[in-house]
Amino acid sequence: MGAYDPEVAGLTRDEAEAFVYREARLIDDLELEEWLRLFTEDGIYWIPIDDSKPVEWNTSLVYDPPLRREERVYHLLHVPFPAQAPRSRTVHLVSNVEVAAGGDDAFTVRSNQVVYEVRQGDFRQVGLGEVRPIVARVEHVLRRVDGELRIALKKILLIDREMSQSNLTFII
Amino acid sequence: MAVTGLAARAPARGDLDPDDLVLEGPHTYRVHTRAYTDPAVFEAEMERIFSRTWVYIGHESEIPHPGDYKTAHIGRQPVIVSRGDGGEIHVLVNRCVHRGSVVCRSPRGTANYFRCPYHGWVYGKDGSLAGIAMREGDSGYSEHFAAPAGLMRVPSVATYRGLIFASFNPEVPSIEQHLGRAAFLIDNKIDQSPVGEIALRSDPYVVTYRGNWKFQAENIVDGYHFTFVHEGFIKLQERYGDSTGDFGVHRGRSMAEVRRIRARGVSWGCSQGHGLSAKPVDQIESLLDGRLGDYYRELLERHGPERLAWIAGSGAMSIFPNLGIIHHQIRVWRPLAPDLTEVTVYPYELRGAPDEINQGWLRSQERFYGPAGHGMPDDVEIFALNQQGLDASAVDWLILERGIDSERRDEVGDYEGLPSGETPQRAFWRRWKRLMAEG
């Protein structure tokens, strides 16, 4: 990625930051229906294990085209299940935001994110009350749709993506 | 994720007598809390089970060429599984015989030799000691030095249809004897491939849970839990069906329908400790006329209608002590401590099957398994709740008696039971008790 150049990118860092911050806030506030609306019609939410391999031949931690993303949100908001009963609280910290032109009216926004997660409830019980950091490099591919920025791709590269994981049944 | 063993709270109470831990009667089958929590039980399991029986360590497709290797564990013993120049498989203890360092640091790769990072001792693909650095000279080794032959070799290695097993027991019975009736279900799974071979290509999922390893061994063939632990998933099936990529794996679009479907089929508890469940297809015609008809007709030609009903049906296995096969995955559980277990899920491909099928089943597994899936995180959550529940040691026993009056023993000593009974789990514990009693 070259140096940031607002003339080339057509997207200022301020605008990119505001967008990524707002997305993070919607996730942390569990405003997930609103979060879904941030994506383009064919947007992808992707947490790969190895992003160098073709996605159709390799499992990802999450590979959500629109309907799967909608299902994930429906699951979280409307269907109780053991891994989210009680549910997680999260706080996203976003830093190192950079913007680059992505071609075809797309922009690539890179950030580093630390997501702290804790399961609510009786903190004396297993899995609850333990604040866990989830550390990732995040890449947003954004497009303007009717003048509004939308996510064509959100790719989350966990620093421990090919290693043993605990419960990741919440939105990162 | 860094994990630390939280091992065990209660000290061992006296000598280990398996008769105190597994209670068997004509209509009774109970397992004592300590069988899941006691560090002394765990230590004994590592010796009496994981060092005596066959343990699954990998698949041949993970190390296809000479020099390919992967690392694995036999209980707590770390091993290297290496492909030699003649295509043979070597299973080597991953410890330098000089001063003990780990020799191989990568989980998989290709190498002509393994070199100890501490003093540079070099071992070949077959583990033989190929060179000792600075061997000569006054400060070197004596001319009478009894140099070891190489890395410690695990004495017994066998494969069954590409699955690699190893054992520290040189007298272990043949792999065919060990697998027994499970071989029939393994064959059914692998013969879903038109050429009768599977391959591991995708990255695996790895999940660590805070519970005993036996909860996973029991649960992969537990027909009773699905409509409770996975009630939420059934609600997703009601709403989304196949539209989000289930690829026909989970049948039933309502709780009632799922209950009805899951009441069919058969389960077995094998004398070797394996738990099996299977459900042949009722009407193979619907498959032959369906969207994947060409694929199923090829299987029909190869195997005939009776085998095809089993091959195309569903099946799940808990192969004693550490291997599961379900859907299109190989699952391995590794005991780390009485209350800590690592589970690795390896999706496999059917060689020779259409890409649509392999990719469809991969997406389906992605939706259910893995740490962000809609199924497996609920199972491992329950395993941790089980373990924490057992902290309540005031209660002695766990009850594993479902279907005990309806199971029957056959001529080879296996038990046959109904789908949501606990026949597979009792078989696990019978073998467990026998091995633990051998001392």
CB B157 within 8 A of CB B74: no
How many domains does chain A contain in total? 1
Domain limits for position B424? 180-437
Confidence band of B232 (pLDDT split at 50, 70, 90): very high
Domain count, chain B: 2
Check which CATH number belongs to the domain holding B82 and give it.
2.102.10.10
What does the pLDDT read at residue A101? Answer: 75
**pLDDT score of A29 more than 50:** yes
pLDDT above 50 (res B202): yes
Q: What number is the average pLDDT over the span A13-25? A: 97
Q: Is residue A165 part of a domain?
A: no
Per-residue pLDDT at A3 exceeds 80: no
Whether B372 shows a pLDDT value over 60: the answer reads yes
pLDDT of B5 reads 37
- Per residue in B123-169, pLDDT tens? 999 999 999 999 999 999 999 999 999 999 999 999 999 999 999 99
CATH number at residue B290: 3.90.380.10
Q: Report ipTM (2 d.p.).
A: 0.94
Q: Is residue A142 part of a domain?
A: yes
Per the structure, the complete domain to which residue A84 belongs is given by 6-158
Distance (Å, whole) CA B57 – CA B316: 19
> Given B203, B363, B374, which is nearest A50 (Cβ)?
B203
B-chain residue closest to A70, CA distance: B244
**Closest chain B residue by Cα to residue A86:** B381
Residue B16: per-residue pLDDT: 85
Residue B337 has a pLDDT of: 98
Q: Residue B315 and residue B318: Cα distance in Å, rounded? A: 10
- What is the per-residue pLDDT for B10? 38
What is the strand order of the sheet B340-347 is part of? Answer: B205-209, B340-347, B329-337, B323-326, B314-319, B275-279, B266-269, B415-417, B408-409
> What residues in B contact A68, CB-CB < 8 Å?
244-245, 367
pLDDT at B8 over 50: no
Q: Is pLDDT above 70 for A1?
A: no
- Position B231 pLDDT exceeds 60: yes
Residue B424 inside a domain? The answer is: yes
Closest residue in chain A to residue B365, using alpha carbons only: A59
Q: Are residues B153 and B196 in the same domain?
A: no
Beta bridge partners of A119: A88
Kindly report the nearest CA distance between residue A5 and chain B, in angstroms: 37
Q: In terms of domains, do B364 and B262 share one?
A: yes
Q: Do B388 and A83 touch (CB under 8 A)?
A: no
Q: What residues 34-93 of chain A have any CB closer than 8 A to a CB of chain B?
A: 47, 49-50, 53, 56-63, 67-68, 71-72, 74-75, 79-83
Residues B149 and B229 in one domain: no
| A164, part of any domain | no
Residues B194 and B89 in one domain: no
| pLDDT, chain B, mean | 95
Same domain (yes/no): B350, B432: yes
- Judged by CB atoms closer than 8 Å, whether chains meet at A47 and B372 is answered as yes
Same domain, B149 and B210: no
pTM of the model: 0.95
Q: Which of B157, B188, B222 is the last residue of a domain?
A: B157
Q: Please measure the distance between the N-terminal and C-terminal CA atoms of chain B and give it in whole angstroms.
A: 36
- Which residue, chain included where needed, has tokens 């009478």? B144
Mean of the per-residue pLDDT values of chain A: 94
Q: For residue B231, count other CB atoms closer than 10 A to its CB.
A: 16
Q: Which residues of chain A lie closer than 8 angstroms to B377, CB-CB? A: 82-83, 167-169
The 10s digit of each residue's pLDDT in B78-118 is: 999 999 999 999 999 999 999 999 999 999 999 999 999 99
Burial class (CB in 10 A: 0-12, 13-18, 19+), B122: middle
Average confidence (pLDDT) over A44-65? 98
Calculate mean pLDDT across residues B276-300.
Answer: 95
Indicate if the pLDDT at residue B12 is higher than 50. Answer: no
In whole angstroms, give the CA distance from residue B407 to residue B217.
20
Same domain, B77 and B218: no
Q: How confident is the model at residue B9 (pLDDT cuts 50, 70, 90)?
A: very low
Q: Indicate whether A20 belongs to any domain.
A: yes
Whole-number Å distance between alpha carbons of B359 and B381: 28
Cα gap A172→B205, rounded to integer Å: 18
- Residues B290 and B284: their CA atoms lie apart, in Å, by 10
pLDDT computed for residue B158 by the predictor:
98
Tell the residue number behind the tokens 């004897």, with chain if given: B177
Per-residue confidence band for A100, with pLDDT thresholds at 50, 70 and 90: confident
**A170: in domain:** no
B275 and B362 within one domain: yes
Does the pLDDT of residue B271 top 70, yes or no? yes
Selecting from B1, B205, B370 the residue whose C-beta is nearest the C-beta of A160 gives: B1
Longest dimension (CA), chain A: 54
* Gap between the Cα atoms of A35 and A74, Å rounded: 12
Whether residues B256 and B386 share a domain: the answer is yes
Q: For chains A and B, count residue pairs whose Cβ atoms are closer than 8 Å.
A: 110
Determine whether the interchain pair A83/B366 forms a contact, defined as Cβ–Cβ distance below 8 Å.
no
In a shared domain, residues B281 and B415:
yes
Which residues in B153-274 belong to E strands, given as ranges?
Answer: 156-160, 163-167, 198-199, 205-209, 266-269
Q: Is the same domain home to B139 and B195?
A: no
Looking at the fold, whether B269 and B144 belong to one and the same domain comes out as: no
For residue A79, the chain B residues in CB contact (below 8 A) are 232, 235-236
Contact B205 A59 (CB under 8 A): yes
